[in-house]
Amino acid sequence: MKPNLLNEAQLIFDLQAGNASAFTTLYDAYSPALFGVLLRLVKDHPQAEDLLQDAFIKIWTNIHRYDAQQGRLFTWLLTVTRNVGMDALRARKMQIISEAYTHDRADESAQSVPDTMPHQSIFTILSPKYSQVLELTYQGYTKEAIADHFDLPLGTVKTRFRKGLRLLKDVFAQDICQYHMV
């Protein structure tokens, strides 16, 4: 039962006034069509039901933004619902990419870590002169204490710290580029 234009104007007025029964009317009138849109987008019945609920919550909280001069109520509802569905698809895609990345990294770590080591430090990909400075810094040692420990000038320790961070940044940038969305 879709409201006609005269009833639609009253429905919008009641919705914007916060009338809960108007929201029930809105849900009854439009939920089947909006559910169909979501189901075609996500192709998963339970997820489409959850997203329909999310869409109606978003509609309820943002009904004050609806402007009849911009278009029909159904068009606005459809846009809000479609955006909720598209957000879910993007989140699903990012989750798949993230899981693939994590899985690939776990496989690489498992192959490169000897059985005798309980874990591998990220700093092991660097040469020892950089990894030692970075590890001690992140363990809480000051650069001055590290310089004293290795009998190095303070400037050398600071340079190795910066260079080590830059090298790690380059490694991560290359690694992340492999999984960047097209």
Residues 10 and 80 in one domain: yes
Q: Select the more confidently predicted residue: 34 or 115.
A: 34
Residues 61 and 132 in one domain: no
Could you say which of 57, 76, 94 is where a domain stops? 94
Residues 67 and 128 in one domain: no
Q: For the beta carbon of residue 41, count every other beta carbon within 10 angstroms.
A: 18
Token readout for 130 is: 């950089």
The DSSP string of 41-103 is HH--HHHHHHHHHHHHHHHHHHGGG--TTT--HHHHHHHHHHHHHHHHHHHHHHHHHHHHHHH
CATH code for the domain in which residue 164 is found: 1.10.10.10
97 pLDDT more than 60: yes
Model confidence pTM above 0.75: no
Residues 72 and 12 in one domain: yes
Residue 84 lies in a domain: yes
Q: Of 7-11, 24-28, 70-74, which gets the smallest average pLDDT? A: 7-11
* Per-residue model confidence (pLDDT) at position 103: 63
114 pLDDT more than 50: no
Mean of pLDDT values over 67-92 = 92
Residue 115 lies in a domain: no
* Per-residue model confidence (pLDDT) at position 119: 45
Mean of pLDDT values over 135-162 = 90
Cα separation, 33 vs 181, in Å, equals 32
38 pLDDT more than 90: yes
* Per-residue model confidence (pLDDT) at position 121: 66
Per-residue pLDDT band for 140 (boundaries 50, 70, 90) equals: confident
Report the number of distinct structural domains present in the chain: 2
Mean pLDDT for the chain overall: 83
Residue 164 lies in a domain: yes
The residue segments making up the domain with residue 57 are: 5-94
Mean of pLDDT values over 104-130 = 61
Residue 112 lies in a domain: no
Q: What is the pLDDT of residues 154-180, one digit of tens each?
A: 999 999 999 988 988 887 777 666 655
Residues 63 and 142 in one domain: no
Cα separation, 178 vs 157, in Å, equals 32
Residues 64 and 18 in one domain: yes
Residues 88 and 132 in one domain: no
68 pLDDT more than 90: no
Residues 89 and 125 in one domain: no
Residues 85 and 163 in one domain: no
Residues 126 and 72 in one domain: no
CATH code for the domain in which residue 44 is found: 1.10.1740.10
Residues 19 and 60 in one domain: yes
Mean of pLDDT values over 128-143 = 88
Residues 61 and 133 in one domain: no
